[in-house]
A and B are shown apart, each in its own frame.
Chain A
Amino acid sequence: MTTEMTTDMTPELRRRNVRTAWLLAAFAAFLLLTSIPFWKGLANMIAASGL
């Protein structure tokens, strides 16, 4: 079900909204992956296990 709001948007505005949203989502994902030493720790663990 959609409201008329979604159809009221011009395709250009809708594209712009989705593009901005993806940018922000990528930023959030970047923070998730880089702001913590998660991958470093994981790599250390893999190295220590001799894989």
Chain B
Amino acid sequence: MTATTLDHAHDHEHEHHGPPTGIKRWLFSTNHKDIGTMYLVFALIMLFMGGASAMLIRMELFMPGLQLLEPDLYNNLVTNHALLMIFGAVMPAAAGMANWMIPLMIGAPDMALPRMNNLSFWILPAAGTMLILSFVVPFFPGGGTQINTGWTLYPPLSIQVGMSMDFLIFAIHLLGISSVLASINIIVTIFNMRAPGMKLMEMPIFVWTWLVTAFLLILVVPVLAGGVTMLLFDRHFGTSFFNAAGGGDPVLFQHLFWFFGHPEVYILILPSFGILAAIIPTFSRKPLFGYSSLVGGMIAIMVIGMVVWAHHQYTVGMSLAAVSYFMIGTIIISIPVGLMVFNYMATMWKGSMTFETPMLFAVAILLMFSFGGLTGIMLAVVPADMQYQDSMFVVAHFHYVLLPGAVFGLFAGVFYWLPKWTGHMYNEKLGKIFFWINVISFNVTFFPQHFIGLAGMPRRIVDYNVMFTEFNMISSIAAFVFGLSHLLLLYIVIDTVRRGKQADDRVWEGAKGLEWDLPSPPPFHSWTTAPVLAK
């Protein structure tokens, strides 16, 4: 779908007014591009903080025995790493891309509720501060014990942790409010602000993935909010929702948490799969294969993904009928996920493919994410999971799912759209160097963890048997390379903004869609007149 861009002259008139200047431009911004940029910068900062905690974890695991960290601090860092990466880096980065691209792709002048968009973003730094405080508070006098629960916050341990848990619960409430507000805004924008004549089944798949993701967020985040509120009541107001001694049930929290936690995986992955749906046809120079089945597939993922949560709890003593149901449901979900992967492969089939950095990431994602999916099927099988659970095999599995499935997809999106956002082309050679270092070091970090997990090394424990030393050393060295490689990403982004060559409006030869009809960078106010769709 392309558009006749009758409104460029009008856009340039708006441009003469220019954006507001100084700090006010950012503090009070209601512009989807500025807010998108702020989300992306926030996510990048959190990526480095979460990455620093991961590198500390790998430093400790470089050798057996206690090297640098006390056991509680180690578990605090494990918790810190997960929460910063999930809530601080990946979700805001995906929201940043949604802010930037959805209005451009559907021909809308901005998000439907621009002031609420501002609020959704500015809650995040407050939430991020509370999150970081929850890790730091225990180091001050009277700060209580550290959060050693992992991101799952299971009671009874989370009831016994010191006041840092209250900071974390407050942070989760704030993050949840931000996510729900952003989701409402995205859904309203997609439903009400599309260019005249653009039907739902004509929207770019990236927009579809965000529609599904936003609904998922609205469906599951309130349940997490309820769960942590009950936790707060158990901690301070004498209730016993999760306290067995008072007649409560700690497993109830696990159900509430994973009712959110499992769909969260799809919340992280789907936007990245939407980015692939933009990249793969562009660099294959072919239309996307199976549009309707992709839409159906992601709706199926949403529906099935919401009813298989307890596969994270096989070992808590559920009935045979319950675990059988959750096992079968979990395995069934591989069908729509596989369908999406096969659609992307079919798009590439016999295409005139070129391998610029975004496409390199896209191909790597399909290979590595599929591998993560296969180990996921191993873990879905109840008797096998009884052996694998809580081992490094699980760590390897979910990093193969989440890094390619979510993070690499976002990197691909950054390289794909950065020229459009900034008006400058990135250095392709540096981009490819970043890709190869990133992907090779990722695999060397996490592939050995499958073996040490299968051999019996547990996760979330600071020390390990000496027989696992060699593989842990390999894993740690590669992890340092992987972590440091992100400095190159930062350099590439800064270099692009400062010195990159002027980018064309249609940056990529095979790119199709409304966003490419706008100048690079798009004017401060874009699509002030709705585009006329040429079908």
Contacts and interface: CB of A to CB of B under 8 A. Distances in A.
A47 interface: no
Contacts of A41: 230, 239, 241, 248
B112 interface: yes
Contacts of B191: 20
Contacts of A24: 183-184, 187-188, 218
A3 B114 contact: yes
Interface string B229-271: 1100000001111000000100010001001000000000000
A18 B226 contact: no
Contacts of A9: 109
Interface of A: 1-6, 8-9, 13, 16-18, 20-21, 24-25, 27-29, 31-33, 35-38, 41-42, 45
B185 interface: yes
Given A25-B184, A36-B230, A6 B114 contact: yes
Interface in B403-451: none
Contacts of A33: 226
B219 interface: yes
Interface of B: 14, 17, 20, 24, 28-31, 109-110, 112-116, 180, 183-185, 187-188, 191-193, 218-219, 221-223, 225-227, 229-230, 238-241, 248, 252, 256, 259, 525, 528
Given A5-B31, A24-B187, A24-B188, A32 B114 contact: no
Contacts of A37: 241, 252
B180 A5 contact: no
Contact of B110 (A3, A35, A42): A3
B223 A31 contact: yes
Given A31-B219, A41-B241, A5 B226 contact: no
Contact of A21 (B188, B222, B226): B188
Nearest to A4: B525
A45 to B, nearest CB: 6
Contacts of B252: 37
Contacts of B238: 45
A28 B188 CA distance: 14
Nearest to B34: A3
A24 B240 CA distance: 31
Nearest to B19: A3
A-B complex: 7 closest residue pairs judged by Cβ atoms: A32-B222, A5-B110, A36-B226, A1-B28, A17-B112, A31-B222, A24-B184
B184 A45 contact: no
29 contacts: A1-B28, A2-B30, A3-B29, A3-B525, A4-B14, A4-B17, A4-B528, A13-B193, A17-B112, A17-B188, A17-B193, A20-B188, A20-B192, A21-B113, A24-B183, A24-B184, A24-B187, A25-B184, A28-B184, A28-B222, A31-B222, A31-B223, A32-B225, A33-B226, A35-B259, A36-B223, A36-B227, A38-B229, A41-B248
A32 B226 contact: yes
Nearest to A36: B226
B112 A21 contact: yes
B522 to A, nearest CB: 13
Nearest to A48: B247
Q: Which residue among B29, B222, B240 has the maximum number of chain A CB atoms within 10 Å of its CB?
A: B222
Given A5-B114, A17-B188, A28 B30 contact: no
Contacts of B24: 1
B223 A45 contact: no
Q: Which residue among A3, A25, A38 has the maximum number of chain B CB atoms within 10 Å of its CB?
A: A3
Nearest to A35: B223
Contacts of A21: 112-113, 116, 184-185, 188
Contacts of A27: 218
Contacts of B230: 36, 38, 41
